Structures are given as C-alpha cells and as structure tokens.
C-alpha cells in the first residue's frame, strides 16, 4: 500500500470510556492491487476526511466490529471520502461496513466498484448517508442487510448503477446478523425521519432503513446493465474456451 502523505497510526480495538477529541485521518492511499486500501476494526470516535482510496482487489474501505458482535464499532464519520477502481469482478465493495453503529457518510463518492456495492452494510444501525455521489458501478449502490436498521439515505445521486441503486435487504448468513436475533435482513422502509436529523441514541427503538430525496439516472442504469451482461457473456465464453 502506498500513500501520498506520510502514514498515520490508526489504533484499532481500543475503546476509551471517554474521548475528548476524535481521531482524525486525512490521506490518499493506493492499494497497489492488494486486498484492501484501509481496514479499521473495532474502532470508536474516528473521523475519516479528505481521503482518496484507489486500486484494491476486494474492498477500498472496510470498517467492522472485529467479530465482537456485542461491542460494535461506533461513532465514525466519513466526510469527503472518494473510493474508486475497486474489485476484480466478484463481490467486491468500494465501502464495506459490518457491525457499525452511529455513523455518518457525508459528501463522499464511490465509483467504478467492480460487481460489488458502493456501500454494503451488514448489521449496521443509526446511520446517515447524505450528499454522496455513486457512479459507474457494475454492481449496486447502497445495500442494507444482516439486521441493519435506522439508516437514513438522503439527498444522494446514483448514475450508471447496473443493479439496484438502493437495496433494503439481501442475502446474509444467519451467523453474521447483528444483532443475532434480528427479525429480518432489512425491514420494509416505513419510517422516514426528516432530512438533517442525527442518528438516534442506542436506547432508541430500532427502525427500518429509509430513503428519500435521492436521484438515479435511468439511462445510465441501462448502460450499466448492458455492460454487466456483456461482462458475464465474456466470462462464459472464456470458460468454454478452456
């Protein structure tokens, strides 16, 4: 992995009971074709801003709870983050979030995500995604599954997305649900908080994901689907020639 600025230490797994100032990271990273550009595990009170993350085989940015489902990662802000040129045609996401609570994704961009999602949620809660642009993806836009709830997707733009721009639900193995007794992958969006509201506290009742005031390009989506079908045909022909 290479960075245009000096590396900054990110301590993962530490859970301070009180944090006067959040850890702030601003850098530009190239994954050099490796699995991931940046992976944060079991973190709390982190701000990632003014980042450009490119060229990784699996995920551009991965934030998770380190497998400790009872103590999720929490209070993370992504602001002005650009993730691009990620994936090799499999289930590869530009931004992968697993077991993250109380977070914001603001004024960010994800483009050229190869066959995965721009943002894939598994068991995330109380999030706010606003003012972002997602484009030129052979997969999907934003997916919320695995018990995800209380996520507001508002005021974003989706262009040239081959699959669904916003998908509330999806295929998740039961061992990966957060919490493990979640009633469904992503409840039907019946609640729509007003724009600009902050995520609720942990004690608030769980609400389904909601999406409003987003914009998607139909013509661009058709082009994306055609590219995806052409890519699949090329794979079939390649297998037949072997």
pLDDT in tens, the chain (242 residues): 444 443 343 444 444 443 445 655 555 666 667 889 999 999 999 999 988 999 999 999 999 999 888 889 999 999 999 999 999 888 899 999 999 999 999 999 999 998 889 999 999 999 999 999 999 988 899 999 888 889 999 999 999 898 889 998 777 766 677 766 665 544 443 334 333 334 333 334 455 566 666 766 655 556 666 776 777 777 777 777 76
Q: How far apart are CA 163 and CA 216, in angstroms?
A: 12
CB 192 within 8 A of CB 214: no
- Tally of structural domains, the chain: 1
User: How far apart, in Å, are the Cα atoms of 187 and each of 98, 146, 176, 192, 237?
Assistant: 17, 10, 16, 13, 39
CB-neighbour burial class of residue 63 (10 A; exposed 0-12, middle 13-18, buried 19+): buried
H-run or E-run covering 102: strand 100-106
β pairing state of 117-122 and 140-145: parallel
Domain extent for 159:
2-241
CA dist., res. 76 & res. 230, Å (int): 38
Question: CA-to-CA distance for 19 and 17, rounded, in angstroms?
Answer: 7
Using the 8-state DSSP alphabet, how is residue 237 labeled?
Answer: H
């Amino acid at each position: 992995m290479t960075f245009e600025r000096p590396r900054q230490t990110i301590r993962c797994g530490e859970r301070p009971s009180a944090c006067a100032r959040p850890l702030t990271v601003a850098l530009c990273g190239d994954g050099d074709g490796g699995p991931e550009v940046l992976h944060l595990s079991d973190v709390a009170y982190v701000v990632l801003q003014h980042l450009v993350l490119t060229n990784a085989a699996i995920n551009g940015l991965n934030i998770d709870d380190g497998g400790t489902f009872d103590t999720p990662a929490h209070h993370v802000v992504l602001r002005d983050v650009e993730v691009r040129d990620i994936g090799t045609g499999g289930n590869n996401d530009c931004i992968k979030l697993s077991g993250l609570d109380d977070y914001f994704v603001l004024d960010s961009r994800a483009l050229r995500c190869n066959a995965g999602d721009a943002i894939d949620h598994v068991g995330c809660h109380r999030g706010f995604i606003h003012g972002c642009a997602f484009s030129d993806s052979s997969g999907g836009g934003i997916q919320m599954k695995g018990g995800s709830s209380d996520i507001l997707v508002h005021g974003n733009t989706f262009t040239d997305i081959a699959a669904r721009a916003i998908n509330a639900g999806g295929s998740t193995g039961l061992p990966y649900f957060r919490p493990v007794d979640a009633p469904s992958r992503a409840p039907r969006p019946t609640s729509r908080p007003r724009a600009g509201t902050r995520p609720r506290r942990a004690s608030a009742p769980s609400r389904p994901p909601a999406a409003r005031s987003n914009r998607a390009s139909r013509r661009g989506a058709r082009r994306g689907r055609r590219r995806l079908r052409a890519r699949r045909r090329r794979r079939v022909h390649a297998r037949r020639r072997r």
